[in-house]
A and B are shown apart, each in its own frame.
Chain A
Amino acid sequence: MSQVSRRTVLGATAGTLAGLAVAGSSALGAGLARATSSDSHRPPSTGLRPFDEVYRGRRIKGTPTTDDGGHHDPHAGHEGHSGHGGHAGHGGQAHDFGYRVTVDGEELHVMRNADGTWISVVNHYETYPEPRALARAAVVELQGAALVPLALA
């Protein structure tokens, strides 16, 4: 396949889960249902400011998805009704950590750690103090390559 969209990944994951789960599809359904029921609260405010810059030829942007008033960013909010657990993402982050990062317009899947540091799906095993450093690290790692879109319908 030339691109792996979120939907493609979801389909392949479901197939694999069915293959791996000895108990079969009913157990799979129960597992996914459980995954979607947890953690459905509003993302915490990170207190971080937005950024928008060109770094090594790539446009990196960071945007808070919540503010002190608790209003959702229309592009990143409403994650609570479904899609938690990482297997059923829908047009954005599987989890909203209060901040959204893009590289040349494609969303970089990011995650906030309990100590406030950040990781991304590109640099998953090394923590960064804040999202701009994380985005810059992703640019270095990508060496000019485009991210696979996570948010395709």
Chain B
Amino acid sequence: MTVRKNQAHLTRAEKRRFVDALLELKSSGRYDEFVDVHNGFIMGDTDHGERVGHRSPSFLPWHRRFLIDFERRLQEVDPSVALPYWDWTVDRTPTASLWAADFLGGTGRVGDGKVMDGAFAETSGSWSITIRVDQRPFLRRALGAGRRELPTRAEVDAVLAMPVYDAPPWNSASSGFRNNLEGWRGADLHNRVHVWVGGQMTTGVSPNDPVFWLHHAFVDKLWADWQARHPRSSYLPVERTRNVVALNDTMRPWNDVTPADMLDHTPYYTYDA
């Protein structure tokens, strides 16, 4: 059974195996397929048009399924690997062990933002950025260089307290748990973390940075935490709604999975806490 653990609690061997599996997926070309799919949805999901992966109720089940697919690919390389999650309310500085050279490597250098250490640095020769929006072929970061800090536990708790999953108009203007977690309104949780990391993480090709998966694994865990706090709340909308994935509609690109299928994560994995 897959158990997703807090990245801060991984052993040295677990980190090594996770990194090695990422490098293997990258060299096989399968990693970049995920970057490409994500960017396609980023550019295609719009507030007044069809929206599936982002700025819509299906943001959470879409990314849950996306991560399950990715985790399965990793496990084809190494069955012992599970996606770790990054609790950015706790590990909230560039000196966190997450950013050490034996795991994801650190921030980018001044001038061009290039990451200079760890397995994903350009100098390692194993992590060229091929699906990209500009010409730079190297992983970049600017950890904490922006004006804002990472979200606090209090900010997360305030969002987890929201009892309604989502609300009309079912987009970036919505009230409710989903949009406050996604970050288009309110304290801004998920979006702000992308900005805090900087580099490719601020772009449509954000999965180029392996931290994408650890960030989204924590966002996914927060959805599970919200469900536990609000057992009588559920995914909305239930009724067919134009341009929006309702509870029992299938989601692109899979076309055989619905939000209803994704509400319970425990058939796929559990969390360590």
Hey, which bits of chain A sit against chain B, CB under 8 A? 1, 3-4, 9, 12-13, 15-17, 19-23, 27-28, 30-31, 34-35, 38-39, 84-87, 89, 94-95, 109, 111-115, 121-127, 141-143, 145-148
Chain B residues whose C-beta falls within 8 Å of the C-beta of A148 in the assembled complex: 132-135
Q: Which of A38, A87, A124, A141 has the most CB of B within 10 A?
A: A124
Whole-angstrom distance between the alpha carbons of A19 and B135 in the complex? 27
B172, CB-defined interface residue at 8 Å:
yes
* Cross-chain contact of A141 among B33, B44, B202, B204 (Cβ < 8 A): B202
State the total of A-B contacts with C-beta under 8 angstroms.
Answer: 147
Contact of B192 (CB < 8 Å), options: A38, A112, A114, A125: A125
The answer to whether A4 and B131 have CB atoms under 8 Å apart is yes
Q: Main secondary structure on chain A at its contact with chain B?
A: loop
Complex Cα–Cα for A69 and B203 (A): 34
A4 to B133, CA, bound (A): 8
Docked CA distance A148–B43 (Å): 14
A8: min CB distance to chain B, Å: 9
Q: Are the C-beta atoms of A125 and B132 separated by less than 8 Å?
A: no
Residue B58 interfacial (CB < 8 Å):
no
Distance A16 CA – B58 CA, assembled complex (angstroms): 20
B234 within 8 A of A: no
Contact B36–A9 (Cβ < 8 Å): yes
User: Looking at the complex, which one of A13, A17, A86, A142 makes contact with B134 (CB distance below 8 Å)?
Assistant: A142
- The answer to whether A9 touches B130, judged by C-beta atoms less than 8 angstroms apart, is no
1/0 contact string of B163-176 vs chain A (CB within 8 Å): 00000010111000
Instruction: Say what secondary structure dominates the interface of chain B.
Output: loop
Name the residue of chain A whose CB is nearest to the CB of B112: A143
5 contacts between A and B (CB under 8 A): A16-B33, A17-B253, A39-B49, A112-B47, A114-B173
A34 contact set on B, CB distance < 8 A: 50, 252
Q: Which residue from chain B places its CB closest to the CB of A19 in the assembled complex?
A: B33
Q: Does B48 contact A (CB under 8 A)?
A: yes
Q: How far is the CA of A17 from the CA of B49 in the complex (A)?
A: 20
Assembly CA distance A150 to B46 (angstroms): 18
Q: How far is the CA of A121 from the CA of B42 in the complex (A)?
A: 8
Question: Are B37 and A35 touching (Cβ within 8 A)?
Answer: no
B206 CB to closest chain A CB, in angstroms?
7
Q: Is the CB of A30 within 8 A of B40?
A: no
Whether A143 touches B113, Cβ cut-off 8 Å, given contacts A4-B132, A12-B131, is yes
**A87-B206 Cα distance, complex, nearest whole Å:** 17
4 smallest beta-carbon distances between A and B, as pairs:
A86-B44, A39-B49, A16-B33, A114-B173
A121's contact among B36, B133, B194, by CB below 8 Å, is which?
B133
The answer to whether A126 touches B44 (Cβ under 8 A) is no
A111 touching B46 in the complex, CB below 8 Å, given contacts A12-B33, A143-B113, A147-B134? yes
Residues in A with CB closer than 8 Å to B112 are 143
- State whether A145 and B130 are in contact (beta carbons under 8 Å apart), knowing that A9-B40, A12-B33, A16-B34 are contacts in the complex: no
